């Protein structure tokens, strides 16, 4: 059984006992435990079920590579699925539950899949469930969906908050093992701004557990001293619990810090996402041990040799009383030695190599451990936990020579450098035949924008596996990093680790070598996704030979561990099946993140109302206090209407319209885009941008203008104001301001870069209020300060002055068809002016009106609305706006586009008005039916509605729309389709329903 | 070809699955073919498949510079829908969708077409009007879509928050027979069927030049030697511009990175496809349990198959607002693909200035759903030398004439 040893455990604090709950059972642990350590200390060997066959699974690893031990952590609003127990720090009161089983972990109905495993090889679902056709959707898929998935989706919104931080550094060192510490020390001493990030809560990586001796002392002393030195450098930032998730182009690095995962609810953000811009990245991310493929290697109790060593050394937990070690290299002997030293039994070390005579095997033998070279585990015995192993010849086919009882197996298939950060941005790998591993190819690194290497690999991540090699390699990498930053390396102490001679690894991808099919079907490669040696071989046999095909066909490496343990073994099996070299087969692409990142952390504080930037006009608070119903317009939230008690939105809109038409209304038009265009070439520039001429506009006058894209399609409209000889103010639509400003800059910076023009988007610098209605002038006159008479300020002019003591620019422009003034004041005066207008207008019946009233009033007047009458396929000519297109100008944006045959065709749909015969409102988006069908067999259409409303002014439905040959068909009755499947008849009429001669707006 | 069935699996299980044959042969190129299709992605393979199935042309090679299905057809978010606005689009996308319905049976390969329903959320009044317009258009086109209320949305997607503080859901356009399929299976199923008809699927074979005489194509040069052909179809998505240059013409195409991501697998929590275009995000849950999430394109051109990280953040922000429970779920993997975008965001299926050379490209961010329809139309064009009704409007000269098929009207973002 697995249990807590009475002594040792460098990371636990025996003075602080904690209690955790697993599947409702109370378990005891110590502060410093990982959840894995605590579970193993309580003999909880079985922790989960696999994805496909629902096989019982135990803890395999001790770090981020763990494929099996995933649990639902926490409850309610703090429930999180798929949390790895190996990287979860245990704390008092932690609640965890195993996943993917029913009714319980011990008795799982889903395990019936395991009995049928022989019928469910890789890709079986592509070959069956084909007939009958409806069965996939209604029968097979629902069953598969229910049995797939791992943890349960959280049921409640997240109770925690997350933070995001930006940082910049010269050198980002990923990994706080001895290599990372050494490299950071060199770079820090040279004066570089260094960030050293370590994913676990502890510094030093594997060196202390592996028993490295540095500068003649235990590794821990060197680690403490180095940390101490780094801590004194102001230019060095040290962070633990901070996982570097991905390296992106231009040195962008993403890291996730677990701030309060181990202290939930303490008020701190749960996680912090670091968004770092690094000049160079030094990847000292270590290496991961590979499992070995032998039959039954997934039974709980079979673990990585290094993990067994970690549990004993770090947490004083023994995975078993009798542990068989199986290996193809010398490193695993360290585990046997550690177990023996802890007083545990190691009945045998099974070494696949023909000989095992290195220093470590000799030491093991000297300690009395039996070493069997040239042997293999034929099969692990046991169900929910290991009960023994059957041994045979490595070179054989699986004949059993001997059975040995044990309760744990420690396996080692060699080590693979963690090359993820090297590879994310395009770094290439090379196959190191002698060491049987892919390592970074220094000749083909990921590049920065100037073509130099962005990432430098160091230590085990660079293939320097032993402590001595890693420190030497890290020293070199540190100096290289300093040089690449154009800094000078200072004399820095370089740690020297004692070299322990290790014999060569022998690549072993499955054991025994000639294992027959029945054994290969029990050799797991990807534990979580249940991919076995036989599956990869099947993929190769069926022609899924590209490593990407094999991965996708078998799902190898696609589980939550992203193949950290399985990829190399899998592709070695594939290479063998294809009779190819491992490097010829290649790896799959390493994609970020290194380990899964909480979506909440990626979102940070951008939640709720501010999940996107929120733009507020100076009068926003007033609208909200009035109970306005707001609608999103771009990033603004504009009042749609101001409902009074008991009013529906529709009633409110009607009231606002009727009042504006009879008395006077106020509209917060601050969101209207306002772009200043200035300079000697400004007139020429605007003449290119607008379809009509703006250079000839006199100072003091306003002119309505249209903008088209190069294709000729109408993209925005608005009133242009000539403020001064060299200065124009361009009003754009509310939603279009940023886009149009970008559009202007695009042309000025990329095409007409020699024109002398400046633009400035001053949308938020001014508040703008429309005062519209027959009594508008009276309200302004009451405010006083400016002459707003018809004579002094006729339609389409403006004047600057002071209104009620506030500096203002008053425009005589109208979007409602009423007598209307649009008053622009500095934003800081917006609310004051608004309140003065409300007060001054009281006696004239002033009311605010919202966007819907604005929309309906402009439709009554037949004014087009960008986004309603236009949709990116409409040209001004379609809307009867030919008058706003200059015939004289040699060129403007869209001119050439509009001359193309299809745009110049007389058969285009053109703007008209529609009135239903029965006064009803035409449905939104309805089409005008035409007789017959087109080449596709679709019912033909000859037009469509673009704006359709109930007009409270006219007491009937009115609409604008596009109709083939429309303007020539006045009076004709056409039919629209309705949602219900019927039709509604409407007469073609003039789109200007109100005041066609403009007497109101000009008045 | 041995047929796949539950009986075949049972038979093979007894002999440890040693009797399965290759899904597709892996032959060396022959010196000449009646037709060569460049690009063994979904569209290229479907083109070859329908050349054989509809037109009896089977002396065909499909050339692939990498591994088949390794481009966008193997890295998309697998959404299938046909609720388009313009008639030309609806015609080809609905043809494709209807072919997906029977694809598993037609190919004897389970592509897991799952018509689980697709929602496009309306979160502004403007968007609501736009979707209602599409529903009206779909009625005339015979494409089954409907406009549904926020309450109906909530019933279909219980985890959705329809009362968000910024963009409450005002309704949705719903296509009940929209859904997803397993993208790799589509590629593999076609490759297997093509191979079975005697066609050569040739991987790791990059085209380096296109040969022509007197304005007519005569063949290609490849990394595996020169191959001649009577007809040539270029179906290479992101790298179309490169191939067009070899054939001596230019395309109105820009290539950009589009990104996607998946979460860790969780038990089923969302059974329909939801697209939220106002806030730029779409989501579905695969049969494996992963949340499959798509985002926007970068605002600049590139070929790196990586994208700017801020798109991922923006997409996830929008999705947490819409589906608050996913906050504690973890992102497992993110990736990018290169999408080929035309000026009107609609594809090109067209003759080219080079005789007997045809091109199919420009599917942009929405190609997967079109694969069978696109192949059907392209095969007709290659076989007859003239487009049939499905391809007629998608010729490349439409840009010269201003005859756009603009779908950005209905879906302003990736679709």
In this complex, is the C-beta atom of A118 within 8 Å of any C-beta atom belonging to chain B?
Answer: yes
Query: A841 near A849, Cβ under 8 Å?
Result: no
Q: Least CB-CB distance to A538: which of B20, B142, B279? A: B20
Counted across chains A and B, CB pairs separated by less than 8 A come out at 329
B415 closest CA partner among B178, B234, B186, B238: B178
- Chain B residues inside the 8 Å CB shell of A897: 402
- Provide the chain A residues 835-874 that lie in CB contact (below 8 A) with chain B: 867-868, 871-873
Dist CA A686 CA A608 (whole Å): 40
- Chain A residues inside the 8 Å CB shell of B288: 148-149, 555
- Mark yes or no for CB contact A902/B402 under 8 Å: yes
A584: in domain: no
- Mark yes or no for CB contact A153/B266 under 8 Å: yes
Dist CA A159 CA B380 (whole Å): 57
CATH number of the domain residue A27 falls in: 3.10.20.440
- Mark yes or no for CB contact B166/A596 under 8 Å: no
Question: Which candidate in A276, A854, A925, A962 is best for mutational testing of the B interface (most B CBs within 10 A)?
Answer: A925
Query: Using CA of residue A884, residue A888, residue A893, residue A895, what is the dihedral sign?
Result: positive
Range of the domain at A403: 291-413+503-512
Q: Least CB-CB distance to A609: which of B165, B279, B328? A: B165
ipTM tops the 0.90 cut:
yes
Q: Least CB-CB distance to A924: which of B108, B132, B188? A: B132
pLDDT for res B412: 38
pLDDT for res B298: 81
- Chain A residues inside the 8 Å CB shell of B126: 867-868
A389 and A508 part of one domain: yes
Q: Once rounded to an integer, what is the mean pLDDT over residues A243-269?
A: 95
Q: Which chain B residue shows the shortest CA-CA distance from A561?
A: B332
A647 and A624 part of one domain: yes
Question: pLDDT tens for residues A44-103?
Answer: 999 999 988 999 999 999 999 999 999 999 999 999 999 999 999 999 999 999 998 888
CATH number of the domain residue A919 falls in: 2.40.30.110
A746 and A770 part of one domain: no
Nearest-10 crossing angle of helices A305-315, A333-341: 30
| Other CB atoms within 10 A of residue A402 CB | 12
**Domain end residue (candidates: A91, A111, A131):** A111
- Provide the chain A residues 903-962 that lie in CB contact (below 8 A) with chain B: 903, 923-927, 929, 934-941, 944
- Provide the chain A residues 720-759 that lie in CB contact (below 8 A) with chain B: none
A341: in domain: yes
Question: pLDDT tens for residues A826-870?
Answer: 999 999 999 999 999 999 999 999 999 999 999 999 999 999 999
**Quick one: pLDDT band at residue A587, thresholds 50, 70, 90?**
confident
In this complex, is the C-beta atom of A25 within 8 Å of any C-beta atom belonging to chain B?
Answer: no
- Mark yes or no for CB contact A599/B326 under 8 Å: yes
Count of CA atoms in the C-beta half-sphere (13 A) of A217 = 8
- Identify whether A103 is preceded by a cis peptide bond (ω within 30 of 0): yes
- Chain B residues inside the 8 Å CB shell of A155: 325
The radius of gyration of chain A from alpha carbons, rounded to an integer in Å, stands at 37
- Chain A residues inside the 8 Å CB shell of B320: 599-600, 603, 607, 611
Dist CA B199 CA B193 (whole Å): 9
- Chain B residues inside the 8 Å CB shell of A521: 16
- Provide the chain B residues 10-69 that lie in CB contact (below 8 A) with chain A: 10, 13, 16-18, 20-26, 66-69
Please calculate the CA angle A872-A876-A882 and round it to the nearest 5 degrees.
Answer: 170
A878: in domain: no
Q: Once rounded to an integer, what is the mean pLDDT over residues A420-447?
A: 96
When divided into structural domains, chain A yields a total of 6
Q: Once rounded to an integer, what is the mean pLDDT over residues A585-598?
A: 92
pLDDT for res B409: 56
Dist CA B318 CA A297 (whole Å): 43
Q: Once rounded to an integer, what is the mean pLDDT over residues A372-391?
A: 97
- Chain A residues inside the 8 Å CB shell of B116: 137
Nearest-CA distance from A944 to chain B in Å? 9
A634 and A773 part of one domain: yes
**Quick one: pLDDT band at residue B414, thresholds 50, 70, 90?**
very low
Q: Once rounded to an integer, what is the mean pLDDT over residues A742-767?
A: 97
Query: A738 near A762, Cβ under 8 Å?
Result: no
Question: pLDDT tens for residues B19-66?
Answer: 999 999 999 999 999 999 999 999 999 999 999 999 999 999 999 999
pLDDT for res B356: 98
For the cut 80, the answer to whether the pLDDT of residue B304 exceeds it is no
Q: Which chain A residue shows the shortest CA-CA distance from B409?
A: A871
- What residue segments make up the domains of chain B, in order of their start? 22-78+183-252+344-410, 97-182+255-341
Question: pLDDT tens for residues A669-690?
Answer: 999 999 999 999 999 999 999 9
Question: pLDDT tens for residues A4-33?
Answer: 999 999 999 999 999 999 999 999 999 999
CATH number of the domain residue A251 falls in: 3.50.50.60
CATH superfamily of the B22-78+183-252+344-410 domain: FAD/NAD(P)-binding domain (3.50.50.60)
- Provide the chain B residues 339-398 that lie in CB contact (below 8 A) with chain A: 343, 389, 392, 398
For the cut 50, the answer to whether the pLDDT of residue B413 exceeds it is no
A489: in domain: no
Q: Is A93 exposed, middle or buried (0-12, 13-18, 19+ CB in 10 A)?
A: exposed
A273: in domain: yes
A334 and A386 part of one domain: yes
- Mark yes or no for CB contact A149/B21 under 8 Å: no
Dist CA B373 CA B375 (whole Å): 5
Question: pLDDT tens for residues B137-146?
Answer: 999 999 999 9
- Mark yes or no for CB contact B321/A607 under 8 Å: yes
A847: in domain: yes
Query: B125 near A967, Cβ under 8 Å?
Result: no
A133: in domain: no
A106 and A202 part of one domain: no
Cα→Cα distances A98→A102, B96, B119, Å: 11, 43, 34
Q: Least CB-CB distance to B327: which of A125, A599, A977? A: A599
- On average, the pLDDT of chain B sits at 94
For residue A618, give both structure tokens: 């100076």
- On average, the pLDDT of chain A sits at 96
End-to-end CA distance of chain B: 36
A182 and A275 part of one domain: yes
Q: Least CB-CB distance to A902: which of B266, B278, B403? A: B403
In this complex, is the C-beta atom of A999 within 8 Å of any C-beta atom belonging to chain B?
Answer: no
- Chain A residues inside the 8 Å CB shell of B66: 546
Q: Does the structural domain B97-182+255-341 have CATH classification 3.30.9.10?
A: yes
**Quick one: pLDDT band at residue B410, thresholds 50, 70, 90?**
very low
A295 and A284 part of one domain: no
Percent of chain B past pLDDT 90, that is, above it, reads 85
- Chain B residues inside the 8 Å CB shell of A248: 306, 309
Question: Per residue, what are the HEC states of A96-129?
Answer: EEECCCCECCCCEHHHHHHHCHHHCCCCHHHHCC
For residue B318, give both structure tokens: 């929008």
pLDDT for res B415: 39
- Mark yes or no for CB contact A128/B134 under 8 Å: no
Dist CA A770 CA A638 (whole Å): 14
Q: Which residues pair with A28 in a beta bridge?
A: A19
- Mark yes or no for CB contact A126/B110 under 8 Å: yes
- Mark yes or no for CB contact A711/B343 under 8 Å: yes
- Mark yes or no for CB contact B133/A150 under 8 Å: no
- Chain B residues inside the 8 Å CB shell of A545: 26
Question: Which candidate in B17, B270, B316 is best for mutational testing of the A interface (most A CBs within 10 A)?
Answer: B17
A350 and A465 part of one domain: no
- Mark yes or no for CB contact A603/B5 under 8 Å: no
Question: pLDDT tens for residues A296-316?
Answer: 999 999 999 999 999 999 999
């Amino acid at each position: 059984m697995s249990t807590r040893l009475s002594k040792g455990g460098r990371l636990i604090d025996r003075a602080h006992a904690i209690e955790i709950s697993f599947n409702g059972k109370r378990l005891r642990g110590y502060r410093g435990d990982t959840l894995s350590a605590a579970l193993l200390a309580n003999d909880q060997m079985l922790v989960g079920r696999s994805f496909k066959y629902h096989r019982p699974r135990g803890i395999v690893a001790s770090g981020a590579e763990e494929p099996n031990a995933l649990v639902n952590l926490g409850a309610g609003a703090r429930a999180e699925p798929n949390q790895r127990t190996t990287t979860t720090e245990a704390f008092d009161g932690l609640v965890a539950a195993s996943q993917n089983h029913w009714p319980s972990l011990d008795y799982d109905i889903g395990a019936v899949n395991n009995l049928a495993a022989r019928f469910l090889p890789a890709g079986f679902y592509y070959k069956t469930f084909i007939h009958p056709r409806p069965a996939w959707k209604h029968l097979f898929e629902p069953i598969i969906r229910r049995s797939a998935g791992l943890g349960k989706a959280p049921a409640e919104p997240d109770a925690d908050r997350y933070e995001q931080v930006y940082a910049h550094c010269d050198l980002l060192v990923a990994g706080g093992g001895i290599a990372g510490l050494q490299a950071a020390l060199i770079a820090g001493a040279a004066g570089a701004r260094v960030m050293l990030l370590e994913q676990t809560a502890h510094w030093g990586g594997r060196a202390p557990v592996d028993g490295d001796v540095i500068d003649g002392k235990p590794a821990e002393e060197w680690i403490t001293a180095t940390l101490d030195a780094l801590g004194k450098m102001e230019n060095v930032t040290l962070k633990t619990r901070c996982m570097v998730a991905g390296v992106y182009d231009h040195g962008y690095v993403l890291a996730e810090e677990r701030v309060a995962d181990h202290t939930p609810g303490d008020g701190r953000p749960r996680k912090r996402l670091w968004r770092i811009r690094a000049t160079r990245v030094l990847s000292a991310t270590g290496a991961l041990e590979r499992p070995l493929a032998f039959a039954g290697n997934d039974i709980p109790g079979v673990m990585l040799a290094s993990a067994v060593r970690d549990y004993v050394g770090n947490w004083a937990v023994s995975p078993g009383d009798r542990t068989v070690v199986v290996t193809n290299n010398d490193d695993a002997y360290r585990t046997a030695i550690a177990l023996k030293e802890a007083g545990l039994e190691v009945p045998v070390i099974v070494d696949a190599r023909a000989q095992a005579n290195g220093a470590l095997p000799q030491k093991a033998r000297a300690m009395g451990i039996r070493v069997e070279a040239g042997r293999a585990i034929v099969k692990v015995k046991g169900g929910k936990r290991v009960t023994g192993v059957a041994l045979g010849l490595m070179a054989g086919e699986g004949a059993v020579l001997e059975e040995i009882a044990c309760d744990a197996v420690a396996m080692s298939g060699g080590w693979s450098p963690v090359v993820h950060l090297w590879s994310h941005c395009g770094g290439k790998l090379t196959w190191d035949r002698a060491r049987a591993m892919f390592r970074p190819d220094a000749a083909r690194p990921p590049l920065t924008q100037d073509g130099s290497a962005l990432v430098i690999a160091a230590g085990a991540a660079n293939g320097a596996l032993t402590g001595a090699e890693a420190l030497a390699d890290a020293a070199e990498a540190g100096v290289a990093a300093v040089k690449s930053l154009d800094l000078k390396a200072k004399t820095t102490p370089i740690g020297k680790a004692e070299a322990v001679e290790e014999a060569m690894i022998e690549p072993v991808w499955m054991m025994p070598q000639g294992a027959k099919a029945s054994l290969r079907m029990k050799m797991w490669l990807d534990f979580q996704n249940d991919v076995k040696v036989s599956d990869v071989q099947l993929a190769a046999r069926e022609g899924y030979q590209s490593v990407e095909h094999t991965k996708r066909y078998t799902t190898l490496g696609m589980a939550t561990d992203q193949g950290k343990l399985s990829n190399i073994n899998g592709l070695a099996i594939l290479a063998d099946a294809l009779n190819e070299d491992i490097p010829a087969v290649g790896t799959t692409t390493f994609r970020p993140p290194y380990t899964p990142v909480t979506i909440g952390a990626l979102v940070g504080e951008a939640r709720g109302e501010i999940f996107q930037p929120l733009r507020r006009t100076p009068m926003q608070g007033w609208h909200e206090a009035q109970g306005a119903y707001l609608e999103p317009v771009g990033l603004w939230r504009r009042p749609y209407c101001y409902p009074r008690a008991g009013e529906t939105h529709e009633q409110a809109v009607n009231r606002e319209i009727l009042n504006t038409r009879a008395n006077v209304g106020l509209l917060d038009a601050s969101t209207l885009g306002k772009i200043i265009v200035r300079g000697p070439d400004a007139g020429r520039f605007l003449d290119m941008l607008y379809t009509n001429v703006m250079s000839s506009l006199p100072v003091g006058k306003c002119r309505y203008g249209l903008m088209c894209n190069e294709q000729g399609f109408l993209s925005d409209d608005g009133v242009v104001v000539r403020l001064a000889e060299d200065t124009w103010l361009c009003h754009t639509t509310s939603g279009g301001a940023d886009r149009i400003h970008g559009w202007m800059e695009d042309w000025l910076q990329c095409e007409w870069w020699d024109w002398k023009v400046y633009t400035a988007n001053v949308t938020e610098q001014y508040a703008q209020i429309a005062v519209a209605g027959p009594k508008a002038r009276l309200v302004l006159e009451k405010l006083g300060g400016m002459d707003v008479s018809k004579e002094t300020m006729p339609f389409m002019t403006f004047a600057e002055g002071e209104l009620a003591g506030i500096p203002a620019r008053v425009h005589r422009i109208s979007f409602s068809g009423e007598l209307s003034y649009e008053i622009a004041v500095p934003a800081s005066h917006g609310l004051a002016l608004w309140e003065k207008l409300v007060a001054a207008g009281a006696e004239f019946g002033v009311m605010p009106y919202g966007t819907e009233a604005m929309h309906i009033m402009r439709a009554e007047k037949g004014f087009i609305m960008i986004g309603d009458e236009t949709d990116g396929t409409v040209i001004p000519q379609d809307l009867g706006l030919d008058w706003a297109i200059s015939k004289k100008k040699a060129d403007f944006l869209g001119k050439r586009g509009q001359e193309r045959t299809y745009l110049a065709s007389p058969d285009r749909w053109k703007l008209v008005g529609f009135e239903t015969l029965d006064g009803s409102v035409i449905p939104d988006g309805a089409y005008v039916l035409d007789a017959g069908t087109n080449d596709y067999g679709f019912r033909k259409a000859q037009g469509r509605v673009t704006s359709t409303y109930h007009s409270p002014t006219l007491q009937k439905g009115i609409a604008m729309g596009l109709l083939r040959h429309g303007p020539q068909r006045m009076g004709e009755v056409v039919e629209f389709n309705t949602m219900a499947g019927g039709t509604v008849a409407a007469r073609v009429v003039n789109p200007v329903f109100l005041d066609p001669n403009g007497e109101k707006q000009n008045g | 070809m041995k047929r796949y069935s539950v009986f075949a699996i049972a038979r093979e299980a007894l002999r440890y699955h040693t009797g399965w044959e290759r899904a597709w042969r892996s032959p060396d190129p022959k010196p000449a073919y009646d037709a060569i299709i460049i690009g063994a992605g979904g569209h290229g393979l479907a083109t070859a498949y329908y050349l054989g199935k509809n037109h009896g042309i089977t002396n065909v090679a499909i050339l692939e510079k990498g591994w088949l299905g390794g481009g966008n057809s193997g890295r998309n978010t697998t959404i299938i829908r046909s609720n388009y606005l313009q008639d030309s689009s609806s015609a080809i996308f609905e043809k494709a969708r209807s072919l997906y319905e029977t694809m598993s049976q037609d190919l004897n390969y389970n592509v897991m077409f799952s018509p689980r329903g697709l929602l496009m959320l309306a979160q502004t009044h403007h968007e609501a009007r736009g979707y209602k317009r599409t529903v009206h258009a779909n009625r005339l086109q015979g494409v089954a879509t409907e406009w549904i209320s926020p309450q109906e949305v909530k019933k279909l997607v219980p985890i959705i928050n329809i009362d968000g503080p910024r963009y409450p859901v005002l309704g949705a356009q719903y296509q009940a027979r929209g859904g997803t399929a397993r993208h790799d299976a589509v590629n593999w199923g076609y490759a297997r069927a093509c191979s079975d008809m005697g066609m050569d699927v040739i991987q790791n074979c990059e085209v380096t030049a296109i040969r022509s005489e007197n304005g007519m194509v005569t063949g290609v040069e490849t990394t595996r030697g020169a191959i001649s052909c009577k007809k040539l179809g270029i179906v290479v998505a992101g790298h179309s511009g490169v191939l067009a240059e070899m054939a001596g013409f230019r395309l109105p195409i820009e290539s950009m990175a589009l990104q996607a991501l998946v979460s860790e697998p969780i038990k089923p929590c969302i059974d329909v496809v939801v697209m939220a275009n106002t806030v730029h995000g779409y989501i579905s849950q695969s049969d494996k349990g992963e949340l499959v999430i798509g985002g926007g394109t970068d605002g600049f051109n590139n070929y790196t198959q990586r994208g700017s990280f801020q798109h991922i953040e923006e997409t996830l922000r929008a999705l947490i607002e819409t589906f608050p429970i996913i906050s504690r779920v973890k992102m497992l993997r993110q990736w990018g693909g290169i999408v080929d975008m035309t000026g009107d965001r609609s594809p090109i299926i067209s003759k080219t200035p080079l005789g007997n050379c045809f091109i199919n490209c420009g599917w942009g961010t929405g190609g997967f759903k079109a694969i069978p329809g696109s192949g059907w139309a392209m095969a007709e064009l290659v076989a007859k030398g003239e487009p049939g009704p499905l391809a007629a409007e998608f010729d490349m000269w439409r840009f010269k004439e201003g005859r756009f098929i603009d779908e950005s009207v209905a879906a302003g973002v990736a679709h």
